[in-house]
Chains A and B, each alone.
Chain A
Amino acid sequence: DMKVTQMPRYLIKRMGENVLLECGQDMSHETMYWYRQDPGLGLQLIYISYDVDSNSEGDIPKGYRVSRKKREHFSLILDSAKTNQTSVYFCASSLSTNNQAPLFGEGTRLSVL
C-alpha cells in the first residue's frame, strides 16, 4: 500500500529545544517535500529533496534544516525551536516527473511553548 508515514503525529516542545520530525515512504520516490500549514496560508514549502543528499530550500527555509541519507527517509530538524514554528507539518513524496502529484503524509502537529 503506497503511503507516506510521518512520526510523531503530535509533539509538544519548549522554546529552545531541538525538534526532529521524520518522514518515510516505501515507493522509491526520488522527490520528497516538507511543507508547513498555518490557518489561512495554505501550504508553504520549507524544503524539497531530489534524492539522497540533494536538497534545496523552498520558500520558508529559515529556522529549519533537513537530512536525507536514504531515499525512503527525509527528516526535518528545528534547532532551538521557536514559538512561531508552532504549526502542522506535512511531508510529501513523488516520482521525479513533472506531472506526478505528490502523495502527502498525515501531518505532524507541533506545538512550541
Chain B
Amino acid sequence: QSALTQPRSVSGSPGQSVTIACTGTSSDVGGYDSVSWYQQYPGKAPKLMIYDVNKRPSGVPYRFSGSKSGNTASLTISGLQAEDEADYYCCSYADTYSLIFGGGTKLTVL
C-alpha cells in the first residue's frame, strides 16, 4: 500500500492562497468521504486541521478548507500567514479497515 501522493513542497506569499493536493485511488481517497489533514511543526506532534474532507475542528481558522474531486483531495489555505509555514499531511480511510497517509508537503511562506 503506497503512500498518497502529495507535492513535496509548495510556497506562497503572505495574504495569498495555496492549495495542496493529495492523490490516491478509488480504494482510498476516491472511495470514501474520509480525508483528514494534519499540520506539523518541526519537532512537534501533528495537529488535526480538517476531517471528513471538509470539516474543521473547533479552533482551526476558517481560512483552512478542504475539498475532494474523484481520487484527489485538496487543502486550501487562504490569506496565508507566516505561522502557516509547516509540513502538511493528508490521510484517507482505505479498503479493508485500513488507512493511509500522504508523503507530506512542506509549505514555505515567502
A binds B: no
